[in-house]
Amino acid sequence: MEEQLHVSALYDLEHTRAAELLGSVTYPWEALPQIKDFILKIGPTLGEDFVLRSENVWVHKTAVIYETAYIAGPCIIDAGTEVRPGAFIRGSALIGRDCVVGNSTEVKNAIIFDNVQVPHYNYVGDSVLGYRSHMGAGSITSNVKSDKTLVVVKEHDESGDLEIETGLKKIGAMLGDYVEVGCNSVLNPGTVIGRHTNVYPLSPVRGYIPENSIVKTGNVIVTKK
The pLDDT tens digits of the residues spanning 69-120 come to 999 999 999 999 999 999 999 999 999 999 999 999 999 999 999 999 999 9
User: Could you tell me which residues come within 8 angstroms of residue 117 by beta carbon, excluding any fewer than 6 positions away?
Assistant: 99, 100, 102, 133, 134, 135
Residues of the chain with pLDDT > 70, as a percent, come to 98
Q: How far apart are CA 196 and CA 114, in angstroms?
A: 16
User: Could you tell me which residues come within 8 angstroms of residue 144 by beta carbon, excluding any fewer than 6 positions away?
Assistant: 169, 170, 189
Task: Spell out the domains of the chain, with CATH numbers in brackets.
Answer: 2-223 (2.160.10.10)
CB 128 within 8 A of CB 174: yes
Q: How far apart are CA 139 and CA 129, in angstroms?
A: 13
Strands (E) in 2-55, as ranges, are 50-54
How many angstroms separate the Cα of 174 from the Cα of each of 57, 64, 196? 24, 26, 13
The pLDDT tens digits of the residues spanning 42-74 come to 999 999 999 999 999 999 999 999 999 999 999
